[in-house]
Amino acid sequence: MTLWNGSYPFYPGANACFPFDTTRAVIVTVFLSLLLTFIIILPGIRGRRRLFWFLRLVLGLSMGAVILIVQFTGDWETGWVQANTSYKSFSPVQVNVDIGLHIGLAGVNVTLRGNPVQQINETINYNEHFPWSFGADYERSYSQGLEKGLPSPILYVAEKFSRQSPCAVHRQYRIAGHYVSLTLWLAFCTWLISILLFSMSILLYGGHMLLLTATLILSSLLLFSTTRNTLRCPVRFGSVSLRTDYGESFWLALAAGLLCLLLGLGIIILNSVQPEKLKLIFSLDKSSEEEAWDKACLPAEPSCSAQDGLVVPLGELCHVTATQL
Protein backbone atom coordinates (compact mmCIF):
# COMPACT_ATOMS: atom_id res chain seq x y z
CA MET A 1 0.00 0.00 0.00
CA THR A 2 3.03 2.32 -0.17
CA LEU A 3 1.93 3.38 -3.67
CA TRP A 4 -0.82 5.50 -2.09
CA ASN A 5 1.19 6.58 0.98
CA GLY A 6 -0.36 3.99 3.25
CA SER A 7 -3.96 4.98 2.39
CA TYR A 8 -6.52 2.74 0.74
CA PRO A 9 -7.05 3.89 -2.85
CA PHE A 10 -10.88 3.71 -2.82
CA TYR A 11 -11.23 6.31 -0.04
CA PRO A 12 -11.83 9.90 -1.16
CA GLY A 13 -10.26 12.98 0.30
CA ALA A 14 -11.82 14.97 3.08
CA ASN A 15 -15.40 15.85 2.34
CA ALA A 16 -16.86 19.28 2.87
CA CYS A 17 -18.23 20.13 6.27
CA PHE A 18 -21.90 20.85 6.94
CA PRO A 19 -23.17 22.74 3.87
CA PHE A 20 -24.69 26.20 4.00
CA ASP A 21 -28.45 25.92 4.29
CA THR A 22 -29.58 28.06 1.35
CA THR A 23 -33.26 27.26 1.85
CA ARG A 24 -33.27 28.62 5.39
CA ALA A 25 -31.32 31.69 4.24
CA VAL A 26 -33.82 32.41 1.46
CA ILE A 27 -36.81 32.12 3.82
CA VAL A 28 -35.23 34.38 6.44
CA THR A 29 -34.29 36.92 3.76
CA VAL A 30 -37.84 37.03 2.38
CA PHE A 31 -39.45 37.54 5.79
CA LEU A 32 -36.86 40.14 6.83
CA SER A 33 -37.48 42.00 3.58
CA LEU A 34 -41.20 42.05 4.31
CA LEU A 35 -40.52 43.30 7.84
CA LEU A 36 -38.24 46.10 6.65
CA THR A 37 -40.74 47.08 3.97
CA PHE A 38 -43.51 47.51 6.53
CA ILE A 39 -41.20 49.29 8.98
CA ILE A 40 -40.61 51.98 6.34
CA ILE A 41 -44.27 52.99 6.49
CA LEU A 42 -44.35 52.80 10.30
CA PRO A 43 -43.73 56.55 10.86
CA GLY A 44 -46.95 57.29 8.98
CA ILE A 45 -49.04 55.67 11.73
CA ARG A 46 -50.05 57.98 14.57
CA GLY A 47 -50.12 57.48 18.31
CA ARG A 48 -50.19 54.18 20.11
CA ARG A 49 -51.63 52.51 17.01
CA ARG A 50 -48.02 52.43 15.79
CA LEU A 51 -46.92 50.19 18.67
CA PHE A 52 -49.85 47.78 18.30
CA TRP A 53 -49.33 47.60 14.54
CA PHE A 54 -45.60 46.88 14.96
CA LEU A 55 -46.24 44.12 17.52
CA ARG A 56 -48.84 42.46 15.27
CA LEU A 57 -46.41 42.62 12.35
CA VAL A 58 -43.47 41.09 14.23
CA LEU A 59 -45.53 38.30 15.83
CA GLY A 60 -47.31 37.40 12.59
CA LEU A 61 -44.16 37.26 10.45
CA SER A 62 -42.21 35.37 13.14
CA MET A 63 -44.82 32.62 13.38
CA GLY A 64 -44.99 32.22 9.60
CA ALA A 65 -41.20 32.14 9.25
CA VAL A 66 -40.80 29.47 11.96
CA ILE A 67 -43.53 27.26 10.48
CA LEU A 68 -41.86 27.43 7.08
CA ILE A 69 -38.24 27.10 8.22
CA VAL A 70 -38.67 23.94 10.32
CA GLN A 71 -39.93 22.17 7.20
CA PHE A 72 -36.43 22.17 5.72
CA THR A 73 -34.19 21.84 8.77
CA GLY A 74 -32.39 18.66 9.70
CA ASP A 75 -32.15 19.01 13.47
CA TRP A 76 -35.48 17.79 14.82
CA GLU A 77 -33.48 15.24 16.79
CA THR A 78 -29.74 15.54 17.43
CA GLY A 79 -26.96 13.82 19.32
CA TRP A 80 -23.19 14.05 19.72
CA VAL A 81 -20.55 11.78 21.16
CA GLN A 82 -16.76 11.90 21.40
CA ALA A 83 -15.03 8.58 20.87
CA ASN A 84 -11.85 6.80 19.85
CA THR A 85 -12.77 4.64 16.89
CA SER A 86 -11.38 3.18 13.69
CA TYR A 87 -11.37 5.56 10.76
CA LYS A 88 -11.21 3.12 7.83
CA SER A 89 -12.32 -0.41 7.27
CA PHE A 90 -9.69 -3.15 7.55
CA SER A 91 -7.37 -0.75 9.38
CA PRO A 92 -6.41 -0.92 13.09
CA VAL A 93 -5.61 2.82 13.18
CA GLN A 94 -7.90 4.72 15.53
CA VAL A 95 -8.71 8.42 15.66
CA ASN A 96 -10.31 10.72 18.20
CA VAL A 97 -13.43 12.22 16.66
CA ASP A 98 -16.75 13.91 17.41
CA ILE A 99 -19.65 12.05 15.83
CA GLY A 100 -22.95 13.85 15.33
CA LEU A 101 -26.35 12.53 14.30
CA HIS A 102 -29.00 14.96 12.99
CA ILE A 103 -32.45 13.59 12.16
CA GLY A 104 -34.82 15.74 10.11
CA LEU A 105 -38.11 15.31 8.35
CA ALA A 106 -36.43 14.47 5.05
CA GLY A 107 -33.47 12.34 6.13
CA VAL A 108 -30.40 11.87 8.31
CA ASN A 109 -27.17 13.83 8.49
CA VAL A 110 -24.08 12.20 9.98
CA THR A 111 -21.19 14.47 10.97
CA LEU A 112 -17.63 13.33 11.63
CA ARG A 113 -15.12 15.84 12.96
CA GLY A 114 -11.62 15.04 14.16
CA ASN A 115 -10.03 16.19 17.43
CA PRO A 116 -7.87 17.73 16.02
CA VAL A 117 -9.14 17.97 12.46
CA GLN A 118 -5.75 16.97 11.00
CA GLN A 119 -4.99 13.37 11.92
CA ILE A 120 -3.15 10.48 10.19
CA ASN A 121 -2.18 12.92 7.40
CA GLU A 122 -5.85 13.59 6.53
CA THR A 123 -8.48 16.23 7.19
CA ILE A 124 -11.31 14.61 9.15
CA ASN A 125 -14.30 16.90 8.61
CA TYR A 126 -17.26 15.12 7.03
CA ASN A 127 -20.97 15.62 6.76
CA GLU A 128 -23.09 13.15 4.77
CA HIS A 129 -26.82 13.31 4.09
CA PHE A 130 -28.95 10.19 3.59
CA PRO A 131 -32.47 11.20 2.45
CA TRP A 132 -35.77 9.35 2.79
CA SER A 133 -38.17 12.01 1.46
CA PHE A 134 -40.52 11.44 -1.48
CA GLY A 135 -38.54 10.53 -4.58
CA ALA A 136 -35.41 9.68 -2.56
CA ASP A 137 -33.97 6.22 -2.00
CA TYR A 138 -32.18 5.80 1.31
CA GLU A 139 -30.71 2.44 0.35
CA ARG A 140 -29.28 3.88 -2.85
CA SER A 141 -27.60 6.77 -1.05
CA TYR A 142 -26.18 4.33 1.51
CA SER A 143 -24.85 2.11 -1.29
CA GLN A 144 -23.23 5.13 -2.90
CA GLY A 145 -21.54 5.88 0.41
CA LEU A 146 -20.14 2.34 0.44
CA GLU A 147 -18.89 2.75 -3.11
CA LYS A 148 -17.19 6.05 -2.29
CA GLY A 149 -15.56 4.49 0.74
CA LEU A 150 -16.85 6.84 3.40
CA PRO A 151 -15.25 6.60 6.87
CA SER A 152 -16.42 3.69 8.98
CA PRO A 153 -18.18 5.74 11.72
CA ILE A 154 -20.44 7.43 9.13
CA LEU A 155 -21.37 4.14 7.48
CA TYR A 156 -21.93 2.51 10.87
CA VAL A 157 -24.43 5.20 11.95
CA ALA A 158 -26.15 5.30 8.56
CA GLU A 159 -26.55 1.53 8.60
CA LYS A 160 -28.65 1.77 11.79
CA PHE A 161 -31.35 3.63 9.78
CA SER A 162 -31.39 1.33 6.77
CA ARG A 163 -34.28 -1.01 6.05
CA GLN A 164 -32.16 -4.10 6.66
CA SER A 165 -31.06 -2.93 10.10
CA PRO A 166 -32.37 -4.88 13.12
CA CYS A 167 -33.04 -1.52 14.81
CA ALA A 168 -36.17 -1.20 12.64
CA VAL A 169 -36.42 2.60 12.86
CA HIS A 170 -36.28 3.50 9.17
CA ARG A 171 -40.02 3.06 8.59
CA GLN A 172 -41.02 4.92 11.78
CA TYR A 173 -38.87 7.97 11.10
CA ARG A 174 -39.73 8.08 7.41
CA ILE A 175 -43.50 7.94 7.97
CA ALA A 176 -43.26 10.45 10.82
CA GLY A 177 -41.32 12.86 8.62
CA HIS A 178 -43.90 12.67 5.83
CA TYR A 179 -46.92 13.24 8.06
CA VAL A 180 -45.26 15.95 10.15
CA SER A 181 -44.30 17.81 6.97
CA LEU A 182 -47.86 17.56 5.63
CA THR A 183 -49.33 18.83 8.92
CA LEU A 184 -46.94 21.77 9.00
CA TRP A 185 -47.88 22.74 5.44
CA LEU A 186 -51.52 22.78 6.53
CA ALA A 187 -50.54 24.94 9.51
CA PHE A 188 -48.80 27.39 7.18
CA CYS A 189 -51.96 27.64 5.05
CA THR A 190 -54.15 28.31 8.10
CA TRP A 191 -51.65 30.95 9.25
CA LEU A 192 -51.99 32.71 5.88
CA ILE A 193 -55.79 32.60 6.19
CA SER A 194 -55.62 34.10 9.70
CA ILE A 195 -53.44 36.97 8.43
CA LEU A 196 -55.97 37.60 5.65
CA LEU A 197 -58.89 37.61 8.10
CA PHE A 198 -57.13 40.03 10.44
CA SER A 199 -56.40 42.37 7.53
CA MET A 200 -60.13 42.30 6.70
CA SER A 201 -60.97 43.12 10.36
CA ILE A 202 -62.72 39.76 10.88
CA LEU A 203 -61.13 39.27 14.29
CA LEU A 204 -63.16 36.39 15.72
CA TYR A 205 -62.62 34.09 12.76
CA GLY A 206 -58.97 35.13 12.64
CA GLY A 207 -58.64 33.96 16.24
CA HIS A 208 -60.28 30.67 15.32
CA MET A 209 -57.78 30.17 12.50
CA LEU A 210 -54.92 30.87 14.90
CA LEU A 211 -56.30 28.17 17.19
CA LEU A 212 -56.45 25.78 14.23
CA THR A 213 -52.85 26.68 13.35
CA ALA A 214 -51.75 25.95 16.91
CA THR A 215 -53.63 22.64 16.89
CA LEU A 216 -51.91 21.55 13.67
CA ILE A 217 -48.43 22.51 14.92
CA LEU A 218 -48.86 20.77 18.28
CA SER A 219 -50.34 17.72 16.53
CA SER A 220 -47.25 17.48 14.31
CA LEU A 221 -45.01 17.60 17.38
CA LEU A 222 -47.06 14.93 19.10
CA LEU A 223 -46.87 12.78 15.98
CA PHE A 224 -43.09 13.13 15.84
CA SER A 225 -42.77 12.37 19.57
CA THR A 226 -44.93 9.25 19.53
CA THR A 227 -43.36 7.88 16.36
CA ARG A 228 -39.84 8.64 17.54
CA ASN A 229 -38.41 5.36 18.70
CA THR A 230 -35.35 4.67 20.78
CA LEU A 231 -32.84 2.57 18.91
CA ARG A 232 -33.23 -1.06 19.86
CA CYS A 233 -29.57 -1.61 19.08
CA PRO A 234 -27.69 1.44 20.47
CA VAL A 235 -25.03 3.22 18.42
CA ARG A 236 -21.91 2.34 20.36
CA PHE A 237 -18.32 3.41 19.76
CA GLY A 238 -16.21 1.44 22.17
CA SER A 239 -17.38 2.24 25.68
CA VAL A 240 -19.59 5.24 24.77
CA SER A 241 -22.99 5.44 23.10
CA LEU A 242 -24.50 8.03 20.78
CA ARG A 243 -27.73 9.28 22.33
CA THR A 244 -30.14 11.71 20.74
CA ASP A 245 -32.59 14.27 22.07
CA TYR A 246 -35.02 16.82 20.62
CA GLY A 247 -33.25 19.44 18.56
CA GLU A 248 -33.62 23.13 17.83
CA SER A 249 -36.33 22.74 15.19
CA PHE A 250 -38.57 20.80 17.57
CA TRP A 251 -38.38 23.50 20.25
CA LEU A 252 -38.89 26.29 17.71
CA ALA A 253 -42.04 24.60 16.41
CA LEU A 254 -43.24 24.09 20.00
CA ALA A 255 -42.74 27.79 20.78
CA ALA A 256 -44.62 28.81 17.62
CA GLY A 257 -47.49 26.45 18.44
CA LEU A 258 -47.84 27.72 22.02
CA LEU A 259 -47.69 31.33 20.82
CA CYS A 260 -50.47 30.71 18.28
CA LEU A 261 -52.51 29.00 20.99
CA LEU A 262 -52.16 31.89 23.45
CA LEU A 263 -52.89 34.55 20.83
CA GLY A 264 -55.91 32.68 19.48
CA LEU A 265 -57.39 32.15 22.95
CA GLY A 266 -56.68 35.76 23.89
CA ILE A 267 -58.46 37.13 20.82
CA ILE A 268 -61.52 34.92 21.34
CA ILE A 269 -61.77 35.79 25.06
CA LEU A 270 -61.35 39.52 24.47
CA ASN A 271 -63.91 39.44 21.69
CA SER A 272 -66.50 37.99 24.09
CA VAL A 273 -65.55 39.89 27.27
CA GLN A 274 -64.14 43.26 26.19
CA PRO A 275 -64.50 43.78 22.44
CA GLU A 276 -63.59 47.49 22.77
CA LYS A 277 -60.07 46.62 23.91
CA LEU A 278 -59.71 44.12 21.09
CA LYS A 279 -60.72 46.79 18.58
CA LEU A 280 -58.23 49.14 20.20
CA ILE A 281 -55.42 46.60 19.78
CA PHE A 282 -56.29 46.13 16.11
CA SER A 283 -56.75 49.90 15.62
CA LEU A 284 -60.45 49.58 14.84
CA ASP A 285 -61.81 51.83 17.63
CA LYS A 286 -61.96 55.14 15.77
CA SER A 287 -65.03 56.63 17.44
CA SER A 288 -63.07 58.97 19.71
CA GLU A 289 -60.85 60.07 16.84
CA GLU A 290 -63.82 60.73 14.57
CA GLU A 291 -65.54 62.79 17.29
CA ALA A 292 -62.41 64.89 17.77
CA TRP A 293 -62.12 65.33 14.00
CA ASP A 294 -65.78 66.38 13.71
CA LYS A 295 -65.41 68.93 16.50
CA ALA A 296 -62.32 70.37 14.86
CA CYS A 297 -63.85 70.61 11.38
CA LEU A 298 -67.43 71.78 12.12
CA PRO A 299 -68.01 75.59 12.46
CA ALA A 300 -68.57 76.95 15.91
CA GLU A 301 -72.20 77.16 16.95
CA PRO A 302 -73.44 80.62 17.74
CA SER A 303 -74.08 81.42 21.36
CA CYS A 304 -77.51 81.99 22.86
CA SER A 305 -76.91 85.72 23.30
CA ALA A 306 -76.00 86.11 19.65
CA GLN A 307 -79.10 84.24 18.64
CA ASP A 308 -81.24 86.44 20.88
CA GLY A 309 -79.73 89.55 19.34
CA LEU A 310 -80.62 88.44 15.88
CA VAL A 311 -84.27 87.85 16.73
CA VAL A 312 -86.41 90.96 15.93
CA PRO A 313 -89.98 91.23 17.19
CA LEU A 314 -92.60 91.22 14.52
CA GLY A 315 -94.23 94.45 15.74
CA GLU A 316 -91.02 96.45 15.36
CA LEU A 317 -90.66 95.68 11.71
CA CYS A 318 -90.94 98.82 9.55
CA HIS A 319 -93.82 99.11 7.17
CA VAL A 320 -92.61 99.65 3.66
CA THR A 321 -94.97 101.48 1.27
CA ALA A 322 -94.65 100.99 -2.39
CA THR A 323 -95.13 103.97 -4.73
CA GLN A 324 -96.53 103.42 -8.15
CA LEU A 325 -94.38 104.78 -10.93
What is the distance between the alpha carbons of residues 71 and 253, in angstroms, rounded to a whole number? Answer: 10
pLDDT digits (tens, 9 = 90+) for 158-200: 998 888 887 778 888 888 899 999 999 999 999 999 999 998 8
> What single DSSP character describes residue 2?
G
pTM listed for this prediction: 0.78
8 Å CB contact between 210 and 267: yes
Give the C-alpha separation, 166 to 174, whole Å. Answer: 16
Instruction: Say yes or no to pLDDT of 1 above 50.
Output: no
Who wins on pLDDT, 103 or 24? Answer: 103
Closest alpha carbon to 151 in 120, 107, 174? 120
Residue 310 has a pLDDT of 41
* 85-89, 208-212, 247-251, 314-318: range with lowest mean pLDDT: 314-318
* 230 confidence band (pLDDT: 50, 70, 90): low
Of 45 and 116, the structure prediction assigns the larger pLDDT to 116
- The residue type found at 277 is K
Concatenate the DSSP letters of all residues of 183-251 into one string.
HHHHHHHHHHHHHHHHHTT-HHHHHHHHHHHHHHHHHHHHHHHHH----SS-EEETTEEE--EE-HHHH
Q: Are 166 and 233 in contact (CB under 8 A)?
A: yes
Could you give the percent of the chain with pLDDT greater than 90? 38
**Helices 203-227 and 49-69, interaxial angle, to 10°?**
30
Asked whether residue 220 carries a pLDDT value surpassing 80, the answer given is: yes
The per-residue pLDDT for 28 is 84
Interval 111-136: pLDDT, tens: 999 998 888 888 889 999 999 887 78
Q: 263 pLDDT band (50/70/90 cuts)?
A: very high
Does the pLDDT value for residue 303 go beyond 50?
no
